Amino acid sequence: MKKTQVALAALALVASSAVMAEGVTLYGTLDAAVAKGSDSTTVLSGAGQWSASVIGVRGSEDLGGGLKAHFNLEAGINTQDGSRDNGGPNGILGANGLFNRAANVGLSGDFGNVTAGLQLSPFILSYVTSLAMAGNNFLVPTLVNGNAADVGGAGQGATAGFFIPNAISYTTNDIGGISASLMTATGNGENTNKYTGGRIAYAAGDLTVTAAFANRTESYNNILVGGTYTMGPLKLAASYINNQDKTGNNSPDIKTTTMGGSYAIGGGNTVGVNLSRAAQSGSDTATIGNLSFAHALSKSTLLYAFYNNTKNSAVSSYYNTTGDTAYGVGINKGF
């Protein structure tokens, strides 16, 4: 009898959990690589040389009348030791902050989408969507070399320019291939944390075009234009970022041009070539050239290899090597 009661209680718990989980999705990606730079020893890189390692929960509830409520919680992970990583706002959430990439809630409907809380910068989204095939090993260093990602200061270090805390955003629904978003962050009394960003994108068949801006009150103003064009197995991409310094140090603007292409050679294999040049008046142009290879074992499992070559002290890989070369191989698994 007791066993039957325990079994019934267990079934009731499972049924209750299922009801609570309706409309909720658990998702994530794990990425691990063996990487080497010309100025470093070989390491197991758990920061995500291809894409960030994350675990997250998202969901939505239909409120009726076309209105939905949604939420997203996402934590970054380092596969070296399972520690928290791949996020931004350490200075605001504290060293023990868990959901360091996304912690937001909002409403969506015929009017578009309104979201409040920690969320991805629309400027960063525009840059990512105007690239050919390339991993974090190229994407993140390119933004750092061009000063288009926050790299210093109390407020900047707290937000990293990727994931913006204290933010409210509005995104339109797609209208004839056009969508737009605008984000603002109050900074909660800290001028260095005040942020405004936005993007507009247009997609028509094989062509995508995007423009974006990001403004940090006392630090910088960034403007981006970019796009991609796909011709069968070939994808071409280009972008331009103008970084304007606002620190009062009279630093010259940095103009970053990125060009690349990828080609699907069949059998789940794709190769990519990318070049980024960050030009600054009075300084040598920092360049990073990238060669990538990816082999899809399935829709969610990828083997990859990369090689980066840099000049003029450019950051050459996501694990912060600044030598002339960086290379590695890894595995990326989504779930």
Give residue 321's pLDDT.
73
**3-state DSSP helix/strand/coil percent for the chain, to nearest 5?**
15, 50, 30
**Of 19 and 120, which is predicted with more confidence?**
120
pLDDT at 160 over 70: no
For 9, list phi and psi in degrees, rounded to 5.
Answer: -65, -40
Q: For residue 190, give the 3-state DSSP assignment.
A: coil
- Band (pLDDT 50/70/90 cuts) for residue 151 is low
Cα-to-chain-centroid distance, residue 198: 15
CATH superfamily of 26-334: Porin (2.40.160.10)
- Band (pLDDT 50/70/90 cuts) for residue 117 is very high
Q: pLDDT tens digits, residue range 256-290?
A: 999 999 999 999 999 999 999 999 888 889 999 99
Residues 6+ apart with CB under 8 A from 241: 127, 146, 148, 222, 223, 224, 255, 256, 258
Q: pLDDT tens digits, residue range 77-112?
A: 889 888 888 876 554 444 446 888 899 999 999 999
- Band (pLDDT 50/70/90 cuts) for residue 28 is very high
Give residue 251's pLDDT.
76
Question: What is the rounded average pLDDT for all residues in the chain?
Answer: 86
Ranking 71-85, 128-142, 310-324 by mean pLDDT, the lowest is 310-324
pLDDT at 306 over 60: yes
Among residues 325, 305, 304, the alpha carbon closest in space to that of 141 is found at 325
In DSSP terms, which residues pair with 108 in a beta bridge?
Answer: 68, 113
Burial of 136 (0-12, 13-18, 19+ CB in 10 A): buried
In this structure, how many other beta carbons lie within 10 angstroms of the beta carbon of residue 58? 16
- Band (pLDDT 50/70/90 cuts) for residue 159 is low
In this structure, how many other beta carbons lie within 10 angstroms of the beta carbon of residue 173? 12
CA dihedral (122, 128, 129, 131) positive or negative: positive
- Band (pLDDT 50/70/90 cuts) for residue 322 is confident
Distance CA 55, CA 27 (A): 6
Is there a contact between 151 and 110 (Cβ–Cβ < 8 Å)? no
Give residue 293's pLDDT.
98
Give me the half-sphere count of Cα atoms (radius 13 Å) on the Cβ side of residue 303. 5
Is there a contact between 194 and 213 (Cβ–Cβ < 8 Å)? no
Average of pLDDT values for 191-216? 92
Q: Spell out a b/e string for 96-112, using b for 16 or more CB atoms within 10 Å of the CB, else e.
A: ebebbbbbbebbbeeeb
Average of pLDDT values for 174-201? 88
Distance CA 6, CA 260 (A): 61
pLDDT at 188 over 60: yes
Give residue 15's pLDDT.
39
Is there a contact between 174 and 89 (Cβ–Cβ < 8 Å)? no
pLDDT at 157 over 50: yes
Q: Could you tell me the end-to-end alpha-carbon distance of the chain, in angstroms, rounded to an integer?
A: 40
